[in-house]
Amino acid sequence: MPTCGNYKLRKKLGEGGFGAVYLAKHIDTKKKVALKIIKPEMMEHVNMDDIEKEVEILKQIDHPYITKLVEAGHCELSSRGRTNEVYCIALEVASGGELFDFISMTGAFSEDVARYFFHQFLDALEYMHEKGISHRDLKTENILLDKDFNLKIADFGYASEKGSNQTQVGTPDYMAPEILQGEKYSGQIADIFGAGLILFMMHAQSKAFLKAEQSDPYYKNIASNRPDKFWKEHIKSKGDETYFSEEFKDLVTGLFAYNPFHRLTIAEVRSHPWFNGTVPTSEDIADEFNRRKENLDEELRRQRDEDPTQAEFDTSLLEGNSVHRGIGDSDEESKEVCEREEQEYDEDFENYHKFFSTSSVEDLWTNLCAYVTGITGEYKFSADEYSISAKVVKEEEEKEEKKESVKEEPIEFLVNILKVPEQEKHCIDATVIKGNKFNFTDQFRDLKKFFGGHANATLAD
């Protein structure tokens, strides 16, 4: 396995414009970290001042519901006999995985369970704001869980210490309206808007809207001060008039306010009746999550016992162009590229989008490449690991009543094939990089069915 300074890489967690993120283990202490690696070729495209600023902000933060910085600096990355100098940021790893992976696979939270996590989230947000720090990229992908089911806010790449900002950073789907409009804005007030999005998704298991613009079929009702119509649409989709309590609707509406100066403050949220409702104990949460995991495991066992779906793919995709090569690789490069190193499966790092197989890694890799090349032309094979990143554009849908065209951003995801230590099987592990997480879950289920038809996929541990 590749090593980076004092760390041994174990699993790729994601990719971005700055490079890649890995689960890694310290060679001497065996401590696990999430390791951001900025390679030399990426240093020309990223502002290292911004990277170092992120590190300086993280050094100021010490809170139980925020991921901690372990160390950062230049070090050497060694892989397959080659060594390069890279910049690494080692962060506390949240072994429980992403909170919203859990929701997308096991269902929405009740208002009481959502309230438990929202209390933790608001504690962390208030702590940051009191230090003069705004996150500016609060979204579902950046909410993690530790092994004890405590929430952790992650990824401070866009964090700011300025009282007023104008740079349009973050993820468009989660940006506050004032950011989308290119106005000067308060990062802290924009964070409040992000808090509303996260709370809504915890309870609704869906996005509140596609983008905070007056043209959005949902958000336009908030912007025009017609929250009754906004909630009517969401209640209709749930098919239950009582799904959202009146107190929940009132709080979320206040967090979504179009005018940033009309948005609720943290003090107002803390005094709100919904926030002060019943809160489960940590034992209740552990019981709830363990029950959900048992139900998910049972579903995986049931799928394993059923006849697999026989998906079809065009085998000509595999002829004349080795699927072991990345796009644009030459024949001379192919021999080296084929010498991929297997990353290790780590049972202590939870991911709910995974399944297992006793097929060989080469058979699994062939099937993975066939699946990805069959659904999209935008993909990238890793040259070092059994890993593929891909982008899938979801077709436009029309709302039945108003015939409004609804276009969602592409889903970008990463799939790893991991060797399970001391066992004759592999884990096929998928992670969303960008896009609607619930659409990604549908894509993952298609991937799992495909493998059920073409490889010895057991679908459960």
Question: What is the full DSSP assignment across 210-225?
Answer: SSSSTTSTTHHHHHTT
Q: Any idea which residue has 């306010």 for tokens?
A: 257
131 annotated as ligand-binding: no
What pLDDT score was predicted for residue 20?
A: 82
What pLDDT score was predicted for residue 273?
A: 98
Nearest alpha carbon to residue 427 among 339, 340, 361, 341: 361
What pLDDT score was predicted for residue 334?
A: 38
Write down the number of H helices and E strands in the chain.
14, 17
Tokens of 450: 């495909």
Contact 361, 387 (CB under 8 A): no
Rounded CA separation 11/24 (Å)? 7
Q: To 5 degrees, how large is the angle CA 415–CA 416–CA 417? A: 130
What pLDDT score was predicted for residue 340?
A: 84
Could you tell me the pTM of the whole model?
A: 0.83
10-residue averages of pLDDT along the chain (461 residues) = 84 72 89 88 75 93 96 86 87 87 89 98 98 94 90 93 91 92 95 97 94 95 96 94 97 97 98 98 94 80 52 43 37 49 82 88 91 91 88 63 56 93 90 84 89 62 43
What pLDDT score was predicted for residue 322?
A: 39
Q: Any idea which residue has 């009191």 for tokens?
A: 130
Residue 272 Cα distances to 33, 201, 259, angstroms:
37, 19, 20
What pLDDT score was predicted for residue 247?
A: 98
Q: Which long-range contacts (CB under 8 A, 24 or more apart) does 173-178 make?
A: 173/139, 173/207, 173/210, 173/211, 173/409, 173/436, 174/137, 174/138, 174/139, 175/211, 175/212, 176/212, 176/260, 177/212, 177/213, 177/219, 177/223, 177/258, 178/260
Active site residues: 137
> How many other CB atoms are there within 10 angstroms of residue 280's CB atom?
16
Domains of the chain as residue ranges with CATH: 3-92 (3.30.200.20), 97-285 (1.10.510.10), 307-454 (3.30.310.80)
Residue 201 Cα distances to 139, 150, 208, 220, 430, angstroms:
10, 18, 7, 18, 21
Rounded CA separation 112/1 (Å)? 44
What pLDDT score was predicted for residue 395?
A: 60
What pLDDT score was predicted for residue 199?
A: 97
CB-based burial label for 28 (10 Å; 0-12, 13-18, 19+): exposed
Q: Which long-range contacts (CB under 8 A, 24 or more apart) does 313-321 make?
A: 313/370, 313/371, 313/374, 313/450, 313/454, 314/370, 314/374, 315/370, 317/369, 317/370, 317/373, 317/374, 318/366, 318/369, 318/370
